[in-house]
């Protein structure tokens, strides 16, 4: 049997990972290779790109030799739980099974179950018994979460080994029942480091923040043994269409960063031009694939050449609402959450919103829950886990949640409290529990709660992780409560501890659900995938009792800058989706126009803040932010 090649695509959100992964899959399938594309992103848009239903099963994608799958965390959890518990039901007493089933309610289970399914496609053929794939392509979550995923084989293997030498129990089941998993995780680690079997492709834009993130992440990948890395620089403007000074400035900015990429990265790189329309469906993916794998010195292209579903008529656009009218504190402290698909500009909007609040004299704290945090890059100053003033912005402070430090603090605090109440045997069991890799998720959420409980600020602005991970964060209060109860379940004081925890969580949940104290907003480009993903997430939030209050349409192209058919087609596409945003969400809309350079440093953040607060006009494309 031929050896399967594993191709990973990752990078900062919004850089075109999924498009490049899908085009690569179409290419290899066209070469006659049996190809499987899998997404590990909780907010996957694989089905949107292929324009077909996929879900948590291997599904033909309408092209010979091509299949796809979207790993569903909830279904993966059910499968994992049943696989571990089924053999025990015939031999274990009912009371023991009940304890095990409670154990599987921990937040760890969702993470390890999704990860376990992911590893199936790397280390074994168990993912699809009896079927061999020549190429398996992983369309991963944005970089910070992907690095975490790839570190897990080592972490879980180590946790299982240490637990085997201790109590024999882990937070994901008894060691005896998951020893086979350790072999699988060890094999995954080996394959990730085999350059003949695994290639990791970073997709990035020619901008400062994606370059910074790619550089940091590539170093982390090398530290966990990944050896073969390459790049795709996506979204480059064609020089011949940039005759307007606005777009000429953006073109020159990109070329400067392209030179920087060549200096910084010793990896093979492919260059891809920004298309003049949407990339959806097999025909357009074939066009992109032909460009991505072009040979014989063929010139890159940018035309989609697929008719746009547009009547060609100019629309009145939307009436934008000034941002401050939507986020201004209203008599008591307010928390504002900006979320959305990776790469849609949440960080820029969060920074501009925080600047706007501080400029009015509101004492404001800007925070990020994103593992690939880069608010410091946007603000133009160092930002870490310590709350510090933002230079040149009175009334504004900023900080990030540092995952590793939050985990250390969390473990120390839990153990310090436990030493006052528990026996040595209980402490030992608790120490083992806290060594689980999923403790990091609990620690990050605990830190998140601490920030929510901070007093002394008029407003706290959260720049959140991409949509799927944000929804997971907001679901954690209930899981967290169960986990606290589980960890102290054999203690005489467990009821009191759980009660204290539940009261705290109830306060947090009530605050999140109170629209006068918390405002949730989705940031999106006026394009299909960000709009669809945000709408799905809005419905999920609604089910959790949280109401979305407004949306931000980012990178809106100003009409007067569109002096040729290339940009006219892109603007027509945006108009169509602005109409869709207005119809789908039925919420106030704030606009942030495309600026001639990236938003980095105080001057550009202030410009973005001014544009977000520009008075509304009937014609959203006429001079907004110009």
Residue-wise pLDDT tens digits, 145-185: 445 555 554 554 455 455 545 544 444 444 444 455 666 66
pLDDT at 487: 47
Q: What is the DSSP string of 548-604?
A: EEEEEEEEEPPGGG--SHHHHHHHHHHHHHHHHHHHHH-S-EEEEEPPSS---SHHH
pLDDT at 377: 85
Give all domains of the chain, ordered by start, each with its CATH number: 5-73+112-152+176-292 (3.40.50.300), 324-612 (3.40.50.300)
Q: Is residue 133 within 8 Å of residue 63, measured between CB atoms?
A: no
Structure tokens at 6: 């594993």
pLDDT at 210: 85
Choose among 322, 392, 331, 400: nearest CA to 362. 331
Cα pseudo-dihedral 322, 327, 330, 331, rounded to 10:
-130
pLDDT at 165: 53
Mean pLDDT of the residues in the chain: 78
pLDDT at 285: 93
Q: Give every residue of the chain whose pLDDT is below 70, as ranges.
A: 1-4, 41-44, 87-115, 118, 123-130, 141-185, 296-299, 305-317, 370-373, 422, 425-426, 428-430, 432-433, 435-438, 441, 465-502, 616-626
Residue-wise pLDDT tens digits, 54-65: 888 899 998 999
d(CA 567, CA 291): 20
pLDDT at 106: 56
With 0.85 as the threshold, say if the pTM is over it.
Answer: no
pLDDT at 501: 65
pLDDT at 408: 84
240 class by beta-carbon count within 10 Å (0-12 exposed, 13-18 middle, 19+ buried): exposed
The Cα-based distances of 208 to 54, 260, 268, 600 in angstroms read: 35, 9, 19, 8
pLDDT at 296: 67
pLDDT at 298: 67
DSSP symbol at 457 = -
pLDDT at 149: 52
pLDDT at 218: 85
HSE-CB of 171 using CA atoms within 13 angstroms: 28
SS (H, E, C) 516-548: CCEEEEEEECCCHHHHHHHHHHHHHHHHCCCCE
């Amino acid at each position: 049997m031929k050896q399967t090649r594993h191709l990973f695509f990752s990078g900062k959100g919004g850089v075109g990972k999924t498009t490049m992964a899908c085009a690569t899959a179409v290419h290899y399938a066209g070469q006659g290779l049996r190809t499987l594309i899998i997404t590990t992103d909780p907010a996957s848009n694989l089905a949107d790109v292929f324009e077909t239903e996929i879900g948590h099963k291997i599904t033909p994608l309408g092209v010979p030799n091509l299949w796809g799958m979207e790993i569903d965390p909830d279904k993966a959890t059910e499968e994992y739980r049943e696989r571990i518990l089924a053999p025990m039901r015939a031999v274990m007493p009912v009371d023991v099974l009940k304890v095990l089933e409670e154990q599987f309610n921990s937040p760890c289970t969702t993470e390890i179950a999704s990860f376990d399914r992911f590893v199936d496609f790397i280390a074994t053929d168990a993912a699809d018994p009896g079927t061999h794939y020549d190429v398996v392509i992983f369309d991963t979550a944005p970089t910070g979460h992907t690095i975490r995923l790839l570190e897990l084989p080592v972490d879980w293997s180590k946790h299982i080994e240490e637990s085997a030498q201790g109590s024999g129990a882990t937070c994901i089941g008894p060691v005896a029942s998951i020893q086979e998993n350790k072999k699988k995780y060890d094999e995954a680690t080996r394959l990730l480091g085999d350059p003949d079997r695994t290639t990791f492709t970073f997709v990035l834009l020619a901008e400062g923040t994606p370059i910074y993130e790619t550089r940091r992440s590539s170093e982390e990948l090398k530290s966990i043994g990944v050896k073969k890395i390459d790049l795709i620089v996506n979204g480059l403007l064609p020089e011949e269409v940039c005759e307007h000074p606005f777009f000429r400035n953006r073109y020159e900015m990109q070329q400067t960063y392209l030179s920087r990429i060549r200096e910084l990265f010793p990896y093979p790189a492919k260059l891809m031009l920004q298309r003049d329309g949407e990339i959806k469906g097999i025909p357009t993916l074939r066009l992109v694939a032909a460009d991505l794998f072009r040979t014989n010195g063929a010139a890159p292209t940018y035309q989609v050449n697929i008719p746009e579903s547009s009547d060609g008529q100019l629309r009145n656009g939307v009436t934008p609402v000034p941002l401050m009218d939507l986020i201004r504190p209203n008599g008591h402290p307010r928390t504002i959450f900006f979320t959305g698909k990776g790469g849609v500009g949440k960080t820029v909007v969060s920074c501009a919103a925080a600047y706007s609040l501080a400029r009015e004299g509101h004492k404001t704290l800007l925070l990020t829950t994103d593992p690939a945090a880069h608010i410091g890059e946007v603000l133009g100053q160092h930002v870490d886990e310590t709350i510090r003033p933002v230079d040149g912005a009175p009334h504004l402070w900023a900080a990030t949640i540092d995952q590793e430090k939050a985990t250390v603090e969390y473990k120390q605090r839990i153990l310090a409290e436990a030493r006052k109440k528990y026996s040595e045997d209980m402490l030992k069991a608790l120490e083992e529990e806290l060594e689980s890799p999923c403790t990091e998720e609990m620690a990050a959420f605990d830190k998140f709660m601490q920030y929510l409980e901070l007093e002394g600020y008029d407003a706290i602005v959260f720049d959140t992780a991409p949509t799927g991970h944000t929804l997971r964060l907001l679901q954690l209060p209930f899981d967290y409560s169960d986990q606290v109860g589980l960890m102290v379940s054999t203690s005489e004081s467990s009821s009191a501890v759980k009660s204290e925890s539940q009261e705290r969580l109830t306060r947090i949940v009530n605050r999140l659900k109170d629209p006068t104290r918390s405002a949730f907003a989705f940031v999106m480009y006026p394009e299909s995938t960000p709009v669809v993903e945000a709408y799905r997430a809005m419905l999920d939030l609604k089910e959790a009792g949280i109401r979305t209050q407004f949306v931000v349409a980012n990178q809106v192209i100003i009409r007067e800058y569109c002096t040729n058919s290339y940009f006219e087609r892109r603007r027509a596409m945006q108009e169509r989706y602005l109409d869709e945003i207005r119809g789908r969400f039925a919420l106030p809309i704030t606009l942030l126009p495309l600026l001639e350079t990236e938003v980095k440093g105080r001057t550009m953040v202030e410009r973005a803040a001014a544009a977000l607060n520009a008075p509304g006009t009937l014609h959203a494309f006429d001079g907004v932010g110009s």
